[in-house]
Amino acid sequence: MDFTKIPFLSFLRAHWFGVSVLLIVILSFYLRFYNYENRWGLAIDQARDVIIAREALKSHLLPLIGPFASAGQFVYGPQWYWILMIMVGIFPFAVITPWIIQSLLYVGVVWLMILIGKEMEGKGFGLVLGLFTAISTAQILNSTNLVQPSLVGIFSFLSLYFFIKYIKSGSNTYAFLMAFVVATEVNIHFQAISLLVLVPLSFILDNARSIRKAWIMLTGTIIPFIPLIYFDLTNNFFESRNWIDYFLYGQYRIYVPNRWLTYIGVYWPNEWSKIIGGETLLGYVTVASLACGAAIAFFRKKLKKTFFAIIAVFFIIFFLLRFYRGERIDSYLVFLHPFVIVLTGWSCLQLYKLRKVVGISLFLVIVLTTFRLDLLEIKKGENITVVQVSNWADKLKSDFPKDTFAVFDYMHKDREKSFPLILFLDQSGKISDNGKKIGFYITTSETEFGYPAIIGKKGEFQIVNLDSSTSAQLSKEGWSFINPSQIYQATIEWYKNKN
């Protein structure tokens, strides 16, 4: 019997690539959305930023800057909030909307990585990279965490795609898009500043480089920085002065152990394994395979231009990161995820060319160990904050159906719960600056004010009725007004009070 004449098998043979892409995308969707109600992350930063996006839309405002950076007294660009506003605006009637959209974008980058692999080495390599991206544990975890580094992770795939397209085609359009996307993700979070190396390196590798093309790339780089430049020029050079202070003094105020031996022999193999998602040993094996494969390909003069470019970018950033003096937390390496995944796939490819069995074995070990870890991660999700604050919000709406609320937090101590509560109340239209004054805090012997409790008991999170006091009296006692209007002003328009 000729099995090739069976219609279904015949279809698979003719459309194997499209079917494989579909299966990988479905797998990535499953891994990002399984048990989603217990996995979407809600804490103070996420709640604050979505509140600001909602307030900007409601009040028809456009943020000029982003939040303060954790490294020093300087701010990010406003693109993070602009994109959040778009996400919220698509369906503002559900708190979870921006989380779902971000997770869908993380499914989209799997497809984008397939296109990157196809551009570099053909369809088979594209599928390998797509599968590695789909099952990457770090990618899965970041897809449900609505913070700036996670969005940088999405833009980093776009920047790599345009980088590859520009190197292969020399197109002015791709040159502009690459520079624009890289500069945008730097504005979203400064962890991506090392990716600016893509711009000059791609220009150097372009055999048809010209002054006109240099201006196109420079324009693409500058445009996303215009809001920050305007802010700096109109606010006594606040941004540039604090950047200078950070480089000269600020980065030296905190000591972080940073030996070369630890950086190369411990830090990177561990981070590599976390990004790919398998066992720690895989990080050492993959890094060693990459080093050997790169050396062999270079000396045999079989290193393609695109792979040379990616390896060069990675090692430049590898060198720059060594001299970063701050703490290197996992989420601050999201911008390098696509490079690590490409280089992992390339290591498997190089081993396959040398010894097919070895290359296939490494590929299977990565897939199986990573997938096992993924299943453990997506099953253990627990969203305690969402359950708590949604219950509190429902009780407030039930007990005071006709009231809106003005929320206060004692000494700003409990924002990890009060900000999410405000988000849920705001989504239900129950927030107003002139509403019923309620306070959120944990009662102790030192903070017993005698206000009647609405929710909670002494010694735990408690919501109390503050309506008997004026705002001035509450301020003297240490209560901070934290309605969306105040959160927006304190985060986005703080500088206006100083002018």
Type of residue at 121: E
CA atoms within 13 A on the CB side of 15: 11
Strand duo 453-455 + 405-410: pairing? unpaired
Q: What is the pLDDT of residues 430-476, one digit of tens each?
A: 999 999 999 988 877 666 778 888 998 877 888 999 998 898 999 99
Q: Which residues contact 280 (CB under 8 A, 6 or more apart)?
A: 269, 270, 273
As a whole number, mean pLDDT of residues 62-71 equals 89
Report the alpha-carbon distance of residue 196 to residue 203 in Å, rounded.
12
Type of residue at 53: A
pLDDT value at residue 269: 85
How much is the average pLDDT of 121-148?
A: 94
pLDDT score, position 447? 66
pLDDT, the chain, mean:
89
Helix (H) / strand (E) element for 486: namely helix 484-492
> pLDDT per residue over 298-346, tens digit each?
777 777 888 888 989 998 998 888 887 766 777 778 999 999 999 999 8
Q: 59-63, 273-277, 470-474, 491-495: which range is least confident on average?
A: 273-277
Mean pLDDT of 268-297: 80
Helix (H, G, I), strand (E, B) or coil at 188: helix
Distance CA 411, CA 405 (A): 19
φ, ψ of residue 300 in degrees (nearest 5): -85, 0
pLDDT of residue 216 exceeding 60, the answer is yes
**How does pLDDT run across 363-381, given as a tens digit for each residue?**
898 899 999 989 988 988 7
Q: What phi and psi, each to the nearest 5 degrees, are found at residue 428?
A: -90, 5
Cα separation, 389 vs 77, whole angstroms:
30
Q: What is the pLDDT of residue 358?
A: 85
Q: Which residues of 104-122 are buried (b: 16+ CB within 10 A; e: fewer)?
A: ebbbebbbbbbbbbbbbbe
Residue 109: strand, helix, or coil: helix
Weakest-pLDDT range from 175-184, 195-204, 241-250:
241-250
The residue assigned the tokens 């411990």 is 266
Domain range list for the chain: 9-33+64-379, 384-497
Residue 223 CB coordination number (10 Å) = 14
**CA separation for the pair 126, 390 (Å, rounded):** 43
Q: Helix, strand or coil for residue 439?
A: strand
Percent of the chain with pLDDT over 70: 94
**pTM, to two decimals:** 0.92
